[in-house]
Amino acid sequence: MTDLRVGLIGYGVAGAFFHAPLIAATPGLRLSSVVTRDAGRAAEVSARYGARPVADAAELHGSVDLVVVASPNRTHVPLAEAALRAGLPVVVDKPLAATAKEAGALAELARERDLMLTVFQNRRWDGDFLTIRRLVDSGGLGAVNRLESRFERWRPVPKGGWRELGGAAEVGGLLYDLGSHLVDQALRLLGPAVSVYAESDVRRDGVVSDDDTFIALTHAGGARSHLWVSAVTPQLGPRFRVLGSRAAYVKHGLDVQEDRLRAGLTPDSPGFGDDPEERWGVLGTDADGRRIRTEPGDYLAFYRAVAAALREGAPPPVGVEEVVEALTVLEAARRSAAEGSAVSL
């Protein structure tokens, strides 16, 4: 069968380090066009992928079979809407939109046009999260009482750019960036949230968007999630600490796939998602804990599922209704932080 032609909008960090290599490594997909106005990036996509650089997203319409939106957050909704109206299925990098209402409108448009719309929530395929899913499904933790999850960094000097300096209009800040992943994982693991409490601060001089945020979720089943996203953490906490009625699981260090993509490794190479043994997490109690192997991370699973959805009518890898649910929580977190009180959903 002829490969599906993919048009990628944006070749910054998300496009260059995540989407382009994953698309190129997925059987049945071909990166055919990339929207970038930067001459150096245009030369790179031509040399590395044999893709055609174009200056405007509208040039993709009529020449590709799938559009991937990996441009700045504020452009996600208009670019996705334009592609859907042109009759093209769409993948959008997270966050899909600034509000659940905007996301719901895009979802309705995709349903009307009978087109696939999905969101790149790649952290569902982190090895540590896959390990937790396995432990929960097998009963190894017992009933989960509390999930603690962190994306923390020590970055006292701002990098600049729209994520830190753009404010609400750019959908910047850590709440909507890494917080999108943490909330998505918590909802997938523990079910719907019924209450949201958040604390959100700007700690560094010259930064406009939140760079130090905490979110507490109470789930319908009674479990709680405590989620941290921060750029001002001199000593990092565990990536995951999951407390169950039988045992706990504690894992330090980030999933290896991002670093390997940034280093130029191809995601279909042997062992690409394997966690080194010295980084495996500990399962059990203080009296009886043991290291257990981290499940291999598998970001390629996202684009394999995209290809299956387009070729075979399989479900998309991330349902838009799940994204709307997570955006509802993020909006509630923003409101909670502003008002200083919990928000019921």
Q: Is the dihedral of CA 267, 56, 73, 320 positive or negative?
A: negative
Characterise 231 by phi-psi region: left (phi > 0), alpha (psi -120 to 50), beta (else): alpha
For Cα atoms 56, 58, 60, give the angle at the middle one, nearest 5 degrees: 90
* Element of type H or E holding 158: none
Q: What is the pTM of this model?
A: 0.96
Q: Which of 273, 311, 327 is nearest to 123 (CA)?
A: 273
- The Cα–Cα gap between 211 and 233 comes to 10
- The Cα–Cα gap between 333 and 197 comes to 6
pLDDT digits (tens, 9 = 90+) for 194-250: 999 999 999 999 999 999 999 999 999 999 999 999 999 999 999 999 999 999 999
- pLDDT at position 83: 98
- Same domain? For 70 and 212 the reply is no
Count of the separate structural domains present in the chain: 2
- pLDDT at position 293: 98
Alpha helix stretches (DSSP H) within the chain:
13, 20-25, 39-49, 76-85, 100-113, 127-138, 162-165, 178-190, 257-262, 300-312, 320-339
- pLDDT at position 143: 97
CATH assignment of the domain containing 130: 3.30.360.10
Residue 62 domain-assigned (yes or no): yes
- Same domain? For 138 and 107 the reply is no
pLDDT digits (tens, 9 = 90+) for 131-185: 999 999 999 999 999 999 999 999 999 998 999 988 788 999 999 999 999 999 9
Give the domain-ending residue among 105, 120, 135: 120
- The Cα–Cα gap between 247 and 173 comes to 34
Where in the sequence is the domain holding 55, given as residue range(s)? 4-120
CA 18 from centroid of its chain's CA atoms: 11
- How much is the average pLDDT of 73-80? 97
- pLDDT at position 1: 75
pLDDT digits (tens, 9 = 90+) for 19-70: 999 999 999 999 999 999 999 999 999 999 999 999 999 999 999 999 999 9
Give the domain-ending residue among 120, 155, 181: 120
pLDDT digits (tens, 9 = 90+) for 81-139: 999 999 999 999 999 999 999 999 999 999 999 999 999 999 999 999 999 999 999 99
- Same domain? For 207 and 287 the reply is yes
CATH assignment of the domain containing 85: 3.40.50.720
- pLDDT at position 169: 86
Give the domain-ending residue among 104, 120, 136: 120
- pLDDT at position 129: 98
- Same domain? For 153 and 81 the reply is no
- Same domain? For 336 and 243 the reply is yes
| Cross-strand partners of 217 | 196, 225
- The Cα–Cα gap between 25 and 16 comes to 13
Name 160's Cβ contacts closer than 8 Å, sequence gap at least 6: none
